[in-house]
Structure 1
Amino acid sequence: MLRSAGLRPTRQRVSLAEILYSKGDRHISAELLHEEAVDADVPVSLATVYNTLHQFTEAGLLREVAIDGNKTYFDTNVSDHHHFFIEGENKVIDIPGEGVGIGRIPQAPDGMEVVRVDVIVRVRQKD
């Protein structure tokens, strides 16, 4: 998988990929992946986890889901879809691509094209 994405399969990348993809589609923060790596006796720093997640994202192996300026998740499902963010639980759930209808998308500035539209619907438990 790493080679086909143009990434050299280093020991740390392979170990992190195994942790990421062994549980099916999921949304994970760098901190949680680091915690899972430490629990699995993978010697890796948080900085390396961040770098690896960004490399995987650039290679098309992950999607970055930015919730706030300070909260980012990485999604192993790179298909066209959107997300619910459950406030209070800090949990991200997929919405199928056809589950959201977008009426109008603004025209991109000259010389640019729209690559993707990401919708994040914030939800919380009813009182």
Structure 2
Amino acid sequence: MRPTRQRALLAQLLFARGDRHVTAEMLFNEAIEANIELSIATVYNTLNQFAKAGLLRRVMPNRSRLFFDTDTSIHPHFYIVGEGILINIPEKLLFAQMPKALPGHEISRLDVIIYIRRTVDI
């Protein structure tokens, strides 16, 4: 990936705050607030290039919502339905049994998203 001024500025915005989940729209708004001039298409392209290079992890809790996670380690998430919020689950999850990959294949990634919604106290 060729380093460009826009990629460097977006990387600074992305990684300066520690581990977090962002959408392209969120990062685009942060760029505007920081007086960085670029298009939303540039943000999408850069995020996808960073993900392809292994710098970000894509997390897609539903068909209309795509987050980019700066923590690329294997870890589970809560997704708050109706609010569009993705949160790391702080506890380590243990799996009693992992399925074996098909012959000639290996497991390359594991995604666990637990969908939750706020309860209403009555």
State whether TM-score is above 0.5: yes
Uncovered stretches (5+) of structure 1, i.e. residues with no partner: 1-6
Match of 1:114 in 2: 107
Match of 1:27 in 2: 21
Match of 2:8 in 1: 14
SS at 1:99 equivalent: coil
SS at 1:20 equivalent: helix
Amino acid at match of 1:25: D
Of 62, 67, 74, which residue of structure 2 is paired with 1:68? Answer: 62
Whether the aligned pair in 1 keeps the contact of 2:24 and 2:47 (CA below 8 Å) is yes
Structure 1 Cα separation of the partners of residues 42 and 31 of structure 2 = 11
1:42 and 2:36 are equivalent in the alignment = yes
Q: What is the TM-score with the length of structure 1 in the denominator?
A: 0.86
Structure 2 Cα separation of the partners of residues 34 and 111 of structure 1 = 41
Match of 2:85 in 1: 91
What whole-Å deviation, never above 9, does each CA across 1:49-84 have from its counterpart, x for those lacking one?
111111111111111111111211001111221111
Match of 1:4 in 2: none
Off by >6 Å, runs of 4+ in structure 1: none
The number of aligned residues is 120
SS at 2:76 equivalent: strand
Superposition RMSD in Å: 1.5
Uncovered stretches (5+) of structure 2, i.e. residues with no partner: none
1:102 and 2:58 are equivalent in the alignment = no
Match of 1:123 in 2: 116
SS at 2:44 equivalent: helix
Whether the aligned pair in 1 keeps the contact of 2:80 and 2:117 (CA below 8 Å) is yes
Identity between Structure 1 and Structure 2 (%): 48
Structure 2 Cα separation of the partners of residues 44 and 111 of structure 1 = 44
